[in-house]
């Protein structure tokens, strides 16, 4: 595990609450899907890497959480500020052999889309589908990163996306659990628990259900 000081190279504001911080990479080796730990003062938080394995920088996608300690402080930082970074950590990664044999379904709520962007920037993935769920249309975080036919955007509080409702509802009404698919679930625990239970009840092997819980 490496620990280093990393300068903020760029801040991109994606919505009222969400932004991307681009950081110096310092040759950190990581696998798409892994996360780093960012330390500020005496506190630290995990952030999935949003950039790809071959990008010369690191990026994280952060939602400023109301009353959240670290995400609010991160939002106040700007280009040139220095962060303490440690990593990489985590096992939410793609196995090359499996990806050749099976289809991949990525399901993300909110900033849970971060590891999936790292996947698609890192590999030439042909057989994936991404369901991204947010509350509002303005939370379509850089959707141009994904093949338009592979992305289904679900918004729970507005229409105008592909589906009005939660991604779990989209899955239950439009898709069928499939033993030839590996399911990657990332974001809030409610979605992960509901989807895992739904898939396991329909005989999907728990080994084919991978998850990364943000909160
Ligand atoms: C492995 C891992 C990877 C993560 N990757 C990301 C990432 O890529 N981007 C990202 O924004 N966050 C990510 N998180 C969440 C992140 O680590 C922090 O928990 C989050 O930024 C809130 O920290 P805070 O100090 O601002 O809030 P805190 O003061 O720690 O918590 C305030 C409250 O907000 C809740 N909360 C935390 N996150 C959210 C959220 N996104 N939406 C609504 N409520 C929330 C907490 O449950 C808590 O009740 C990840 C967490 C883990 C475990």
* Helix 189-201 / helix 167-174 crossing angle, nearest 10 deg: 20
All structural domains of the chain: 2-89 (2.40.30.10), 96-213 (3.40.50.80)
211 lines ligand 1 (CB under 6 A): no
Going from the Cα of 65 to the center of ligand 1, the distance in angstroms, rounded, reads 7
Alpha helices in 28-175 (DSSP H): 69-76, 96-101, 114-122, 167-174
pLDDT in tens, the chain (215 residues): 899 999 999 999 999 999 999 999 999 999 999 999 999 989 999 999 999 999 999 999 999 999 999 999 999 999 999 999 999 999 999 998 888 899 999 999 999 999 999 999 999 887 899 999 999 999 999 999 999 999 999 999 999 999 999 999 999 999 999 999 999 999 999 999 999 999 999 999 999 999 999 99
> Counting atoms of ligand 1 from 1, which one is nearest the CA of 65?
26
CA of residue 215 to ligand 1 center, whole Å: 6
Backbone CA torsion sign across 159, 75, 60, 10: positive
């Amino acid at each position: 595990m490496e620990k280093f000081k990393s300068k903020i190279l760029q801040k991109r504001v994606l919505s009222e609450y969400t932004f991307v911080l681009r950081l110096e990479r310092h040759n950190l080796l990581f696998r798409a899907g892994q996360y780093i730990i960012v330390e500020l003062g005496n506190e630290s938080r995990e952030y999935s890497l949003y950039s790809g394995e071959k990008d010369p920088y690191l990026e994280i996608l952060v939602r400023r959480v109301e009353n959240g300690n670290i995400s609010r402080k991160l939002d106040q930082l700007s280009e040139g500020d220095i962060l303490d970074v440690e990593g990489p950590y985590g096992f939410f990664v793609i196995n090359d052999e499996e990806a050749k044999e099976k289809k991949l379904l990525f399901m993300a709520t909110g900033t849970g889309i971060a590891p999936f962007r790292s996947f698609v920037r890192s590999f030439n993935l042909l057989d994936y589908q991404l369901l991204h769920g947010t509350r509002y249309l303005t939370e379509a975080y850089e959707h141009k990163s994904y093949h338009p036919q592979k992305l289904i955007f679900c918004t729970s509080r507005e229409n105008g996306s592909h589906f009005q409702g939660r991604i779990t509802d989209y899955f239950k009404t439009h898709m069928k659990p499939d033993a030839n698919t590996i399911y990657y679930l990332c974001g809030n625990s409610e979605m992960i628990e509901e989807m895992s239970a739904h898939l396991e009840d329909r005989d999907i092997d728990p080994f084919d259900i991978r998850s990364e819980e943000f909160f």
